[in-house]
Structure 1
Amino acid sequence: MTLSGWPADDHVHSQFSWDAADGDLEATCARAVELGLPAVSFTEHLDVGAWQAPPGGWAWRGTVRGSTDGHGRFMSEPLQVQAYAEEVERCRHLFPDLRIRWGVELSEGHRHPVACAEVVGWGFERVVGSLHALADLDHPGQVVEMRGALAQRGVLGTVVAYLDEAAEMAASDAPFDVLGHLDYPLRYWPADAGPVPWAELEERVRHVLSVLAGSGRALEVNTSRPLELVVVRWWREAGGQAVSFGSDAHRPDDLAQRWREVAEAVASAGFRPAADPTALWGRA
């Protein structure tokens, strides 16, 4: 199966992301060519702050400090920018017909303005701004990864706090082009919690989208958990001008997952591809 005529995948990870044990930049490019994608954007994780880690830590590349049992502050392995840039350039020569962008997924950039200033100077072609952590209620002044936030706030409380912080990030000067996975906490929504109460969340979601539209940034439709179509419609009603598609793939086989299904849904919400097939989709 090929996906010619369908969107670029603008949120992809390779071996240069600290949580992508099975990532492979060259193999991902080969997979993109096999599928017929017009472009792929590597958005390797870039985290400039530490997260409160759970007991036992994680099997991710990084260090945990503050406790011998692994319960402490997790700092991810630094992004190897030079090696990453060299691998992108090598793959551009291997796959000349594929548009290969190099970029980063910047976590909580609004909390670290000084550190993020360096990001601008590296010349990334795509920066996805994301939230992966919230304020730690048990450790003032620190942040906790989403699973810890769920334990502290409950499921709905975590979603509400996430949306409030997303609005704050969208209003900031953090250097990102696209707001990534607005529905990230819903990845942890338990089946026994019933359907997501969109009516209860609508006002907050619309506020985030309005602030984001005013900033001139794009909204990502992350296909690892397809964004609810109603949110894409609210994005258009808020004045949103562009939509990005991202599989959030951490291994080559997950590239462009659910692509046709999600692209058709986004088209029905009023967004269309540009004349340049590698560009973001804009308002119809």
Structure 2
Amino acid sequence: MATRTNWKELYQDLPEKVAATLREKRVKPEQLTAKNDGELLALGLSDTDVETVRAKYPSTLSELVERSADLKSAKADTLSEKKTKKVKEISDSHFYKYPRRVFGRSSRYKALAKKINRNQTCEPKAALEKLISLAGKDKAIDLHLNVLDTGLRGEVKVPFSTGKTIRVEIFSDKTITALNNNEFNFDVLLATPADMPKLAKYAKVLGPKGLMPNPKSNTITNDPETRAKQLSAGATIAFKTEPKFPIIHVSLGKTSQKVEELTGNLTTLLREVGVTKITGAFLTANQTPSVRLDLSSI
């Protein structure tokens, strides 16, 4: 229970007139030190009375103002240091020193671009042969599709390997240990419906990496062993548009594969996506210009 203030005992160290005013206005000593001089004058005290009060009860506002000023100054110095550091990092970067409008493409890219007619379309097999001759051995070949709308996704089993090794893991207690240690030694994580409650708390970590099992990608299954064999064979291609743009990027294989194998994978994928949904199709290899595809023969 709060104790009552004995006003008669307060301010005995001040002149009676000043003390009486403060008692009448019910101003406690801790409130007195927190008030500025203007507020004391508003109570009915004169300038001389205020000086007398301050001699006994100095204001704490000046200390707070000084402390606040020090904090603002320290914060400004920190922000200035961060800004200077960021500017220095940018100024030291390769792209700042050599922007594309000045530095341009590499000499290799420019030489390859002269061998490709951007206005010409090629049939799938001819386009692949051209890319293989330009890119060299063991380079990845990627397909880029412009489609009518976002939200298009699916999976297709292609007749030949894509040349990419997929690390598949079936959810177990070892997976939990690895996730707790922030280790992600897999490209695809498979789980059964019964496993999903255990994986729920890792959704914020796995989701942004595209590793969270979900029904749309068929990574939640009652038979994960069979599904793992399908994916490990490297003959399955999953495709989906970007979240905000109707664009699809997939890997078809490598230039070290036979043209017939790459052509088989390409035509199978295009038919699965649907030629009528595609507004533009382009093939690229590592660091090569794109070749536009003619889809009339698909």
Larger Rg belongs to: 2
Q: Whose RCO is larger (CA < 8 A, sep 6+)?
A: 2
Normalised by the length of structure 1, the TM-score is 0.26
Name the one with the larger helix percent: 2
TM-score by length of 2: 0.25
Structure whose residues are more often strand by fraction: 1
